[in-house]
Homo-oligomer: A and B are copies of this chain.
């Protein structure tokens, strides 16, 4: 299909306009905007719009046209995650490094182990191929965190530079990097691809990458000193955008996703440039590109599940294991390191959002034939439920802190509303 500029502009306008309306509606029910945008995508996709008005749906979103929207949203995602890295407060993070280290490990290992366990039970009914690859895959899908969703929630609630936010972002970065590495291992196991990277060589490349990033951080800090007592030129934005894009591409090449690369580029950026980068890039990514990214998954996915009667029990089991292991794992880890239990519970809820990263992982599983379509549907439902439950429950835990069991205190309303 030839590129149709008229259709492309119209698609962007419809998606971001409609997402904004749904997000505004969802915020009245205590959901963050990002959840509203995901819901808007589901409504605009084959699940709702495509079901009730198939002709209009195919006219507005012909399959061949979605590639252009996806490209635009991927570029936006890279810049957005880069900005999350730029916003990380190193002082706060260093202060919380022990909590972050322990929590991130527990919040990967517990879901992974419990996923391996539940896989033994569900493999006979839904599994195909290697039981080991299946079990590892379920474990990985349980241990993943929706980095972009979590970052959006933290940003929307002004939590990014707090203790809770710093620990959550650090844990999510570690969890996701681990999950991508596990996914690469599973792909290699399943595909028997002779060109696939071996795990040891992948680890070596990642280590080299991290060392280069560390050196670059030092070099950029030296360079940043030039701007200590003068205005930063606007063109310096270009340097960091190029850094984010290249680092994202390197992340893809290493098998840890552009997300991880872009985040590391953000960490490497001297804090001296933070204000200008956030001021000049964040509005475009938050208002235009991120709604596009979050809605696009819904537009490209059919969420109509063919659930058999016996499947409900299995679904609830999967959901229970997912929530208990991730929420529980993160909360227990953080509590053990001295965080208050309410804050630790909020951290667990944040880590428990599987959202879009979960969907990306699950689609890989479906493509590889590891997941049957029914199990895929159940896992997708699990990813959505864990995402949708996060902020309403976070409000509950925040509310109890103020001694009011039901009413949300003014301070929380002001930040989240």
A196 in contact (CB, < 8 A): no
Q: Hey, what's the 0/1 contact readout for A1-41 against B, CB within 8 Å counting as 1?
A: 00101111110110011001000000000000000000000
Across the interface, do B249 and A13 meet the contact criterion of CB distance under 8 Å? Answer: yes
Question: Which interface residue of A12, A68, A74, A283 has the most chain B CB atoms within 10 A?
Answer: A283
A284 in contact (CB, < 8 A): yes
**Which listed residue (B9, B70, B241, B258) contacts A246, Cβ 8 A?**
B9
A281 in contact (CB, < 8 A): yes
Across the interface, do B237 and A283 meet the contact criterion of CB distance under 8 Å? Answer: yes
A53 in contact (CB, < 8 A): no
With A70-B3, A71-B3 known as contacts, the answer to whether A235 contacts B287 (CB < 8 A) is yes
Across the interface, do B253 and A6 meet the contact criterion of CB distance under 8 Å? Answer: yes
Q: Would you call the interface of chain A mostly helix, strand, loop, or mixed? A: helix
Q: Hey, what's the 0/1 contact readout for A61-94 against B, CB within 8 Å counting as 1?
A: 0000001101110110010000000000000000
Given the complex, which residues of B lie within 8 Å of A9, measured CB to CB? 74-75, 78, 245-246, 248-249, 252, 258
**Which listed residue (B10, B12, B280, B288) contacts A283, Cβ 8 A?**
B280
Q: How far is the CB of A27 from chain B (nearest CB, A)?
A: 11
Given the complex, which residues of B lie within 8 Å of A70, measured CB to CB? 3
Given the complex, which residues of B lie within 8 Å of A13, measured CB to CB? 241-242, 245-246, 249
Question: Which interface residue of A13, A72, A253, A281 has the most chain B CB atoms within 10 A?
Answer: A13
Given the complex, which residues of B lie within 8 Å of A304, measured CB to CB? none
A222 in contact (CB, < 8 A): no
Q: How far is the CB of A329 from chain B (nearest CB, A)?
A: 30
A402 in contact (CB, < 8 A): no
Question: In the bound complex, how far is the Cα of B7 from the Cα of A114, in angstroms?
Answer: 37
Q: Hey, what's the 0/1 contact readout for A219-249 against B, CB within 8 Å counting as 1?
A: 0000000000000001101100110011011
Question: In the bound complex, how far is the Cα of B253 from the Cα of A12, in angstroms?
Answer: 16
Across the interface, do B5 and A258 meet the contact criterion of CB distance under 8 Å? Answer: yes
Given the complex, which residues of B lie within 8 Å of A72, measured CB to CB? 71-72, 75
Across the interface, do B16 and A241 meet the contact criterion of CB distance under 8 Å? Answer: yes
Nearest residue (CB) in B for A17 is B242
Question: In the bound complex, how far is the Cα of B71 from the Cα of A71, in angstroms?
Answer: 9
Across the interface, do A10 and B249 meet the contact criterion of CB distance under 8 Å? Answer: yes
Across the interface, do B71 and A234 meet the contact criterion of CB distance under 8 Å? Answer: no
Given the complex, which residues of B lie within 8 Å of A17, measured CB to CB? 238, 242
Nearest residue (CB) in B for A281 is B284
Given the complex, which residues of B lie within 8 Å of A246, measured CB to CB? 9-10, 13
Question: In the bound complex, how far is the Cα of B237 from the Cα of A279, in angstroms?
Answer: 14
Given the complex, which residues of B lie within 8 Å of A237, measured CB to CB? 283, 287
Some 18 contacts from A to B, beta carbons below 8 A apart, are A3-B71, A5-B248, A5-B252, A9-B245, A9-B246, A9-B258, A13-B242, A13-B245, A13-B246, A16-B241, A16-B242, A20-B235, A20-B238, A71-B72, A72-B75, A241-B288, A281-B283, A281-B284
Given contacts A5-B258, A12-B245, 7 further A-B contacts (CB under 8 A): A5-B74, A5-B249, A6-B249, A6-B253, A7-B249, A9-B248, A68-B68
Report the 7 A-B pairs with minimum CB-CB distance, sorted nearest first: A6-B252, A68-B71, A13-B245, A280-B283, A9-B249, A10-B249, A9-B245
